[in-house]
Amino acid sequence: MKKKAAMLREHLPGLLNYERHRITNAISEGFNAKIQVIKSAARGFRCFGNYRTAILFHCGKLNLHPL
C-alpha cells in the first residue's frame, strides 16, 4: 500500500494535468512509432532529405486525391 501511495505522490503533477486539460501524449507517441517504421525502411535512402520527405508524406496526412 505504501508503494502505491508513493507512486501516486510521485506522479501527482502529471495526473492533475491530465484531469485539468484532458490531453495525453498518445498522438506524439503514434508519430514516433510511424517514424521508427520509416527509419527501419529508410536504410537505402541516400540523403536525409529523402528520409524527411518520407516522414512528411506518411505523417502529414496529405490529401493526394485529385479534386
CA distance 16 to 21: 9
Its pTM surpasses 0.75? no
pLDDT at 67: 63
Domain ranges of the chain: 25-67
Q: What is the pLDDT along the chain (67 residues), one digit of tens a residue?
A: 999 999 999 999 999 999 999 888 888 899 999 999 988 887 777 888 888 888 888 888 777 776 6
Q: Which amino acid is at 8?
A: L
- HSE of 9, CA atoms in CB hemisphere, 13 A: 6
pLDDT at 15: 92
Q: What is the DSSP letter of 11?
A: T
Q: Tell me the helix, strand and coil percentages in the chain, rounded to 5.
A: 75, 0, 25
CA distance 58 to 8: 37
